[in-house]
Amino acid sequence: MKSHSIRQPVFFVSHGGGPWPWMPALRKQYMQLEQSLSQILKGLTQQPQAILMVSAHWEERIFTVQGAQHPTMLYDYYGFPQETYAIDYPSSGHAELTKRVVEQLQAANIDISIDNSRGYDHGMFAPMQVINPKADIPVVQLSLKKGLDPMTHIILGRQLAKLREENILIIASGLTYHNLSQFNATAEKESGLFDTWLHETLVNYDTDIRNQRLIHWENAPAARFAHPREEHLLPIMVAVGAAENEQAIRNYHESKFLGGISVSGFQFGHL
């Protein structure tokens, strides 16, 4: 892929629960998130050639990238209406982007494999249904690496950064709060403490200090309450690595989500 004069920004999005964009009653609770997601492509100087999506819902022993030309759907949620197990986000894959991801990681001696059969999970298709409902921009997913080591994922992001100059939009998809046993107003205090720390870390600190705070994220207030398991936080590390020397802005925030949960989304780099 050719370099462009425009460097695409990087986004971290909170992707919400299950197939919410296809559920009118549930969408009412996601109005602010939907508004934020719907503005991502509208704010870009140039429509991306393809999107690289790092989803919290895919972990592998080594980093793994999608290779399918037409990925199927993975309905990786439970307890939702039957019709939500037949929804479709008909995006295509992108062979050249898959190749470039492999090249970039191999150049840094990072193990990488291609999965030609894996489909899209809801960490991809839920936000993408709002970001680009036309599904006319190819999307390739890239996994997290088991062990969920923060520095490993920051380094991954560094190796992906060059793709931004090739008109590739990088979107990291997770949730800034992900304690499913406390996903209601009882989490108001703890989710607020962690969200405040994360906002300060990403927005107020430059590269070295920001990285160190993220590497030691478990020291943050209410860290393990907000993330009993950190797979939904790790995509942020990839976004930070891909925009390591660039300031973040918070482009989405709610402090009363589902009655009291604090959640956020971030953009790195200029539009």
Q: What is the DSSP string of 169-213?
A: EEEEEE-S---GGG-SGGGHHHHHHHHHHHHHHHHH--HHHHHHH
pLDDT in tens, 198-211: 999 999 999 999 99
Instruction: Record the tokens describing residue 199, joined without a space.
Output: 């906002």
Query: How many whole angstroms separate alpha carbon 17 and alpha carbon 161?
Result: 28
Strand partners, 250: 266
- CA-based nearest residue to 64, from 15, 130, 2, 111: 111
* Distance, CA of 11 to CA of 243 (rounded, Å): 10
Instruction: Provide the residue ranges of all domains of the chain, joining segments of one domain with +.
Output: 10-268
- Percent of the chain topping pLDDT 70: 98
Q: What stretches of the chain show up as alpha helix (H) in DSSP?
A: 24-27, 31-38, 95-107, 122-131, 150-160, 188-204, 207-215, 223-226, 234-242
How many CB atoms sit inside 10 A of residue 271's CB? 12
Q: Which CATH superfamily is domain 10-268 in?
A: LigB-like (3.40.830.10)
| DSSP letter assigned to residue 216 | T
Q: How far apart are CA 98 and CA 96, in angstroms?
A: 5
Q: State pLDDT tens for residues 127-144.
A: 999 999 999 999 999 999
47-72: pLDDT as tens digits: 999 999 999 999 999 999 999 999 99
pTM, two decimal places? 0.96
* pLDDT score of 4: 66
User: How high is the pLDDT of residue 104?
Assistant: 98
The number of beta carbons lying within 10 Å of the beta carbon of residue 4 is 16
